[in-house]
């Protein structure tokens, strides 16, 4: 043990003198600081007086038994990890103790290695909990902006750009794959800007049938169509003085694109079936997972509207390109859903094996998929935290095999190509795109690297 390592403090509570002595000597040899108590009442007194990391407590004792000690210790705010020692015939009671908050139990008679193993497991659990707490504090302090969590440099640049555009009326176009957090960025622009006291209205243009979308956006007057029994304001009027977020703008029909362009240019609209022009002051933020330039070329999107919406564009990177954010996001979602499920985030840990899978998976559904994964895992998790078994099948299987073997193929050649591509991608990421430095890291010539970048489409 080095001089910088912290010694764990253990309290042993048992009415058997020989067992107390044996545990004190054995644990002392393994660098634990040990105190002993003869019954539960004496144990409560000691646990109140000084903090312990772990408490080994017998179940059957005079004065106050193990279950009684557990309840009184919790009532007194004792935070130590409590491990019950159960003799033959008391296993049911030991399980009852675990339901009351004990971490684990060991059955008597036990071997020294059994006690050491359960303590090591408990220490690892506490280490993971401490790491989760550190990550949450780090997120709150340094890496969170308007509910968007990231330490990625590209995301930090996006945060800076959001701060620059939030106070002006300029349209913003958000680009990126589904699940990357485009609506979160739209809300950040609105709620950090001069329009924060106005309404934020969101509409998914692909979720409403074409024949209803015009009325939804611009409103209608009574009698405009069969079911129009009264005048109705549209979302543009609802958003007056604030922001209208048009998600999946690439799915808007061409017939409505003309009317949207007019509102953007003139700042006024006419309800469906109406004759009156209505002035509106609305900032437009739009988003799409499609390539709008390609949609323009294909004739599916008006070029003049594209240029009007694309005054400022922000492209959100997929989660696979911001792998360093995964532990931060996991800690955030554990906190969020831990409260909802009655499993406080501070008490939940992700095992190293599960975290390796989370880091290895490519996340085609991006942050939204990760959030769903943690919500599901936390719901299914047993005491002690998230293990690989509670992760969705695609995370377990694809992370372990597809990235290593190149999908369903068993071709060694393809696997080697995939591994080579991944090494080059990581080297470029680490060096910030500096190809000379990347070539040195990869121990290949600069010329070979340029050839490989072109071959793998990494330009």
Please, what is the average pLDDT of the chain?
85
The beta strand positions in 67-198, using DSSP E, are 81-86, 104-107, 144-145, 148-149, 172-175
For the domain with range 9-110, which CATH number is right: 3.40.50.720, 2.170.190.11, 2.60.120.10, 3.40.50.2300? 3.40.50.2300
pLDDT of residue 108: 85
Buried b (16+ CB within 10 A) or exposed e, 294-323: ebbeeebbbeebbebbeebebebbbbeebb
pLDDT of residue 139: 53
Domain residue ranges of the chain, discontinuous segments joined by +:
9-110, 153-316, 320-455
pLDDT tens-digit series, residues 319-375: 999 999 998 899 888 888 887 777 755 456 788 888 888 988 889 899 999 999 999
Mean pLDDT of 101-126: 86
**Tokens 């903090």 label which residue?**
51
Mean pLDDT of 242-258: 94
Helix (H) or strand (E) segment spanning residue 308: helix 303-309
pLDDT tens-digit series, residues 184-199: 999 999 998 899 999 9
- The fraction of the chain above a pLDDT of 90, given in percent, is 44
Q: Do domains 9-110 and 153-316 have the same CATH topology?
A: yes
- Work out the pLDDT band at 143, boundaries 50, 70, 90: low
Q: How far is CA 282 from CA 17, 21, 61, 158, 301, in A?
A: 79, 77, 73, 23, 22
pLDDT tens-digit series, residues 82-112: 999 887 666 777 788 888 888 888 888 888 8
Architecture of domain 320-455: Orthogonal Bundle (1.10)
pTM of model > 0.85: no
Q: Is 126 helix (H, G, I), strand (E, B) or coil?
A: helix
User: Residue 416: is its pLDDT beyond 50?
Assistant: yes
Size (the chain), residues: 459
CATH superfamily of 153-316: P-loop containing nucleotide triphosphate hydrolases (3.40.50.300)
pLDDT of residue 317: 94
Please compute Rg for the chain using Cα positions.
30
Mean pLDDT of 386-414: 66
């Amino acid at each position: 043990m080095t001089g910088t390592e912290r010694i764990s403090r253990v309290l042993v509570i048992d009415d058997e003198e020989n067992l107390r002595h044996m545990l004190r000597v054995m644990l002392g040899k393994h660098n634990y600081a040990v105190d002993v108590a003869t019954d539960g009442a004496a144990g409560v007194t000691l646990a109140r007086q000084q903090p312990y990391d772990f408490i080994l407590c017998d179940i059957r004792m005079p004065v106050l038994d193990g279950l009684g000690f557990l309840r009184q210790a919790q009532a007194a705010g004792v935070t130590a990890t409590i491990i019950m020692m159960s003799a033959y015939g008391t296993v049911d009671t030991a399980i009852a103790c675990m339901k009351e908050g004990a971490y684990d139990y060991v059955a008597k008679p036990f071997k020294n290695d059994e006690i050491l193993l359960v303590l090591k497991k408990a220490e690892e659990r506490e280490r993971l909990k401490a790491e989760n707490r550190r990550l949450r504090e780090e997120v709150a302090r340094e890496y969170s902006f308007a509910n968007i969590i990231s330490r990625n440099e590209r995301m930090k640049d996006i945060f800076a750009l959001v701060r620059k555009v939030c106070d002006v009326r300029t349209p913003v176009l958000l680009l990126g794959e589904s699940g990357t957090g485009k609506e979160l960025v739209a809300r950040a622009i609105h709620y950090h800007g001069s329009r924060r006291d106005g309404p934020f209205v969101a509409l998914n243009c692909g979720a409403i049938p074409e024949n209803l979308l015009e009325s939804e956006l611009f409103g209608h007057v009574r009698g405009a169509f069969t079911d129009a029994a009264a005048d109705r304001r549209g979302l543009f009027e609802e958003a007056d003085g604030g922001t209208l977020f048009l998600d999946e703008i690439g799915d808007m029909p061409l017939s409505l694109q003309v009317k949207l362009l007019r509102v953007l240019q003139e700042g006024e609209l006419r309800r469906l079936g109406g004759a009156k022009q209505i002035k509106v002051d609305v900032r437009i933020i739009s988003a799409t997972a499609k390539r709008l330039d390609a949609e323009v070329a294909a004739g599916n999107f008006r070029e003049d509207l594209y240029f009007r919406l694309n005054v400022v564009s922000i492209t959100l990177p997929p989660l696979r390109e911001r792998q360093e954010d995964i532990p931060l996001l996991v800690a955030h979602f554990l906190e969020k859903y831990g409260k909802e499920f009655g499993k406080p985030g501070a008490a939940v840990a992700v095992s190293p094996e599960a975290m390796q899978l989370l880091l290895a998976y490519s996340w085609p559904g991006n942050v939204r998929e990760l959030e769903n994964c943690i919500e599901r895992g936390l719901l299914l998790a047993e005491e002690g935290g998230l293990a690989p078994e509670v992760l969705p099948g695609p995370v377990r299987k694809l992370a372990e095999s597809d990235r290593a073997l190149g999908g369903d193929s068993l071709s060694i050649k393809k696997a080697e190509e995939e591994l080579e591509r991944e090494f080059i991608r990581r080297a470029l990421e680490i060096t910030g795109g500096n190809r000379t430095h990347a070539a040195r890291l990869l121990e290949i010539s600069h010329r070979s690297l340029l050839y490989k970048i072109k071959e793998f489409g990494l330009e």
